[in-house]
Amino acid sequence: MPSRAVMSVDEARAWLAEVISGAERLRLESVDDDRVVAVTGPDCLELRLDGTISGPAMFWAMDLTGFVAVTVLIGPAPAMVLAHSSISFLEPAEPGELRVTAEVIKLASRSAVVQARASDRRGTLVAASTLHFALPSRATRAALRAEQAVRAGS
């Protein structure tokens, strides 16, 4: 899907720090138009009793990285929500950093579909998910951007 990012990696980092509690737990490495790569851990990832990274921790990282991937294409949209997702846990994730790549595969006026993949510190693919985000209308997004510009100018 050939879409152009409207935010740089530095802009995305600054925005994420403003809008998400605990965003410092996710380190954005790159923004490449419709693809975002992020790394999280090791200290902020919950482990299961057997010492592997928990499923909810992996899902959190994939959901947030997918959210950022859509945001860098459309700009900040606080009303964007995860509407549906599916996740497959493929292997136990070794403790340590978790690398997530999220790619927007479909961007429509009111929805976005993202494919996310998570790899553990060994580079082993440990989870894959499809995330469907519901987007506010373009008019609502434009009004939000105008409101933010006014606040930034005051």
Determine which helix (DSSP H) or strand (DSSP E) holds 74, and give its type and residue range: helix 55-74
Residue numbers of the domain that contains 89: 9-153
Model confidence pLDDT, tens digit, residues 20-38: 877 778 999 999 988 999 9
Residue scoring higher pLDDT (33 or 87): 87
Number of domains in the chain: 1
* CATH code, domain with 45: 3.10.129.10
pTM confidence score: 0.86
CA distances from 71 to 49, 64, 102, 154 (A): 35, 10, 12, 24
Model confidence pLDDT, tens digit, residues 100-111: 999 999 999 899
